[in-house]
Amino acid sequence: MNIAHLLQRSALVHGDRPAVLVGARPLHDYRQLAARVAALAGHLRLRCGVQPGERVLIYSANCPEYLEALHAIHWAGAVSVPVNYKLHARELAYVLGDSGARVVCVSAELRDAAFAAGADPAALQLLGGPGWSQAARGVPLALQERAPQDLASLFYTSGTTGRPKGVMQTQRNLLAMTMAYFTDVDEVHPDDAMVYAAPMSHGAGLYNYAHMLRGARHVVPESGGFDAAELVQLAAGVGRLSLFAAPTMVHRLVEHIRSTGADASGFKTIVYGGGPMYVDDLRRALDTMGQKFVQIYGQGESPMTITALAREHLMDTRHPRWEQRIASVGVAHACVEVRVADAHDEPVPPGELGEVLVRGDTVMAGYWNNPEATAQTLRGGWLHTGDVGQLDVDGFLTLRDRSKDVIISGGSNIYPREVEEVLLLHPRVSEVAVVGKADAEWGEVVIAFVVADGEPVPDAELDALCLEHIARFKRPKQYRWVPALPKNSYGKVLKTELRARL
């Protein structure tokens, strides 16, 4: 079974329904989209010589041709390598070499960057250029059969530490991930619309499959990215709008709606995840927009699918453990098993901290060209996520921090997120990241990088806030006010960079 089958099926069942929109403007219906994809697959095979199993890289910001390229690659039985378009030329060069991509689908504005990274000019296919339009009208290729264990996509981990690794996502992985959207995240109707406000090379793009399956609309914003005012306008114009958003985007969208009093009824579902959502932000989001949120926790190695925190749980304010639940990442997706284990991979009892392990059909086949990392990460048949967390008696998982972010001070573990949650309670703290700094006496001490909302606050005020909520030893030794936190292009704070500044 080839994941491109989802598009083929929707072209039959929902042929006349709008498939792709740019802003509120319909571009192709499902029949047209499938015809273009089959022709582009023909082009990849016949003109570019791409054989099933070969890799094709996509290096582009969000655009309607992104979806065409992705599905044409699948349709031809090849392996998509979606690359973050904000990567540095050096990183792109690494991914090009490591994946051994035969073709690079690139948007016009990134062509020079692709050259700079060493892409072979003959291997470039310009998304949306005249050649592309012509290829989309060419000879269609029959959908290529794939086996469930065949590779569908190579996803390079965002690499907040070290060199990126190519996560091997199989056909089975992507299909299981797609079904998991319906079991644990949301129902989708053909009238729904998925807007790509976050990079399509990452989580947002992975949600295309569930919407492809249901014959829903795919909306590429005119801006190509996240713009709160534009999203609000799109929700009003397009209606039944869903999106995947990093917590920082949710924060910005909610603040925009609060400050403008805009009508948010056109939004259907906002799936947030990819990084910690602070409880204070979440409360404001629920207050402002109500029952529209679902959280997911996943990683490239088990794409979008480890746990989910459902709408019902977020809205169940009368539940005695509601406070803890909204600070959790929810319960295991139906198609995977999740456990928390000690250093010997033995499960720990509820309430105890350990590493989060995952097993099931969404778990990757391994890392491309990297048997050592594969053996280490998949040892004992479980994916070792590198995330530290605890399960409660009802099966809700609360994440602490990535194991490498935990601060050990005077022999005690300090979880930065706990300190960050407290500092964010201050109305004039807009963003914060807590890291450890090497210290001769304590091993490590706690340092907080803080972004002010307006004027910085005296340290004593933040100290008092910490003393009110957490143990004295967790209080930062220093507050460093910065204009912004360094983030990667998916909005994740780069703690490695902050540590390097220390």
Per the CB < 8 A criterion, the answer to whether 220 and 21 are in contact is yes
Taking the complex as a whole, how short is the minimal distance between the CB of residue 124 and ligand AMP, in angstroms?
26
d(C-alpha 246, C-alpha 252), whole Å: 10
Segment contacting ligand AMP by CB under 6 A, of 34-42, 260-268, 290-298, 337-345: 290-298
Shorter beta-carbon distance to ligand AMP: residue 145 or 337 = 337
Shorter beta-carbon distance to ligand AMP: residue 280 or 439 = 280
Shorter beta-carbon distance to ligand AMP: residue 433 or 445 = 433
Query: Within 376-405, which residues bind ligand AMP (CB under 6 A)?
Result: 385, 387, 399, 402
Under rule CB under 6 A, residue 436 binds ligand AMP: no
Shorter beta-carbon distance to ligand AMP: residue 295 or 390 = 295
Shorter beta-carbon distance to ligand AMP: residue 224 or 274 = 274
| Number of chain residues interacting with ligand AMP (CB under 6 A) | 16
Chosen residue from 32, 157, 233, 324 binding ligand AMP by CB under 6 A? 157
Segment contacting ligand AMP by CB under 6 A, of 103-111, 274-282, 344-352, 466-474: 274-282
Chosen residue from 166, 199, 274, 476 binding ligand AMP by CB under 6 A? 274
Rounded to 5°, the CA angle 256-261-263 comes to 95
Pairing of strands 267-273, 55-59: unpaired
Three-state secondary structure readout of 54-96: CEEEEECCCCHHHHHHHHHHHHCCCEEEEECCCCCHHHHHHHH
Chosen residue from 178, 208, 295, 390 binding ligand AMP by CB under 6 A? 295
Taking the complex as a whole, how short is the minimal distance between the CB of residue 175 and ligand AMP, in angstroms?
19
Chosen residue from 77, 82, 276, 389 binding ligand AMP by CB under 6 A? 276
Taking the complex as a whole, how short is the minimal distance between the CB of residue 167 and ligand AMP, in angstroms?
8
Shorter beta-carbon distance to ligand AMP: residue 150 or 387 = 387
Phi, psi of 76 (to 5 degrees): -80, 0
Dihedral (CA of 467, 472, 478, 479) sign: negative
DSSP character string of 412-466: EEE-HHHHHHHHTTSTTEEEEEEEEEEETTTEEEEEEEEEESSSPPPHHHHHHHH
Residue of 430, 392, 414 lying closest to 472 (CA atoms): 414
Shorter beta-carbon distance to ligand AMP: residue 273 or 360 = 273
Under rule CB under 6 A, residue 242 binds ligand AMP: no
Residue of 54, 29, 26 lying closest to 41 (CA atoms): 54
Give the position of tokens 């994916």. Answer: 383
d(C-alpha 428, C-alpha 450), whole Å: 10
Chosen residue from 107, 144, 269, 299 binding ligand AMP by CB under 6 A? 299
Under rule CB under 6 A, residue 300 binds ligand AMP: yes
Taking the complex as a whole, how short is the minimal distance between the CB of residue 471 and ligand AMP, in angstroms?
23
For the record, the structure tokens of 494 come out as 């780069």
Shorter beta-carbon distance to ligand AMP: residue 172 or 495 = 495
Chosen residue from 221, 266, 273, 360 binding ligand AMP by CB under 6 A? 273
Taking the complex as a whole, how short is the minimal distance between the CB of residue 308 and ligand AMP, in angstroms?
9
Three-state secondary structure readout of 356-399: EEEEECCCCCEECCCHHHHHHHCHHHCEEEEEEEEECCCCCEEE
Segment contacting ligand AMP by CB under 6 A, of 75-83, 284-292, 294-302, 449-457: 294-302
Taking the complex as a whole, how short is the minimal distance between the CB of residue 3 and ligand AMP, in angstroms?
19
Cα 454–chain centre separation: 30
- When CB distances to ligand AMP are compared, the closest residue is 299
Residue of 146, 131, 142, 145 lying closest to 39 (CA atoms): 142
For the record, the structure tokens of 330 come out as 């929810």
For the record, the structure tokens of 463 come out as 């100290």
| Helix (H) or strand (E) run with residue 220 in it | strand 217-220
Taking the complex as a whole, how short is the minimal distance between the CB of residue 302 and ligand AMP, in angstroms?
9
Chosen residue from 113, 174, 216, 329 binding ligand AMP by CB under 6 A? 329
Sites of contact with ligand AMP (CB under 6 A): 157-158, 273-276, 295, 297-300, 329, 385, 387, 399, 402
